[in-house]
Chains A and B, each alone.
Chain A
C-alpha cells in the first residue's frame, strides 16, 4: 500500500489527552515521523525515530507504533497545540516518501 490514513479532524478539551493515529501497511516495515503545522508556518518535526522528540518539543508529546498503526499522543493538550498534524513514512517499496492526509487538532 502507498497510503497513510489519518482522521481529518480531532478535538480535545484543554488539559486533556488526545491521540492522533496514522494507519498504513508500510508502517509494519518503515518508521514514522510526525509534523505539526500551524497556519502560515512551515511544518515542524515533533516526533521521530522510535519515539524521540527534537529539542524544544514538550514532553507532553509522545509516539508509539503497533502493527500498521502509529500514534501521536498529547498528554495535557495546550492551546498552542492547535494545528494540523501529519504522519510521514515511506511507501511499501521504500522508494518514495508519503504523508498522511493530515489531522486538524482543535483544542476546546
Chain B
C-alpha cells in the first residue's frame, strides 16, 4: 500500500531532551515536507526537501532540523524541545511532477512538558 509512515504517533517528552520523529514513504517521491498544525494557526510548513541531500526552510523552521540521506526517509529532529513545540506534526510527500498532489502521514502528536 502506498503510504507515508510516521513514528511515533504520540510522544510526551521533557524540555531539552533531544528527539527524532521519523518519516518514511514507499512511493519513490522526490518531494517531502514537514508541517505542524496548531489551533487557530492551521498547518504551516517547517522544512521541505526536493531530493536527496537537498533541504530548505519552510515558514517556521526555528528549533527544528531535518536530513535527507535517503530518498524514502525524512526525519524531523528537535535538538532541544521546548513547550512551544507542542503540536501535531505531519509529514507529506509528492512526486516531482506538479500535476500530482501530496500524500500525508497520519500525524505525530508531540507534547513537551
A interacts with B: no
List the interface of chain A (C-beta within 8 A of B): none
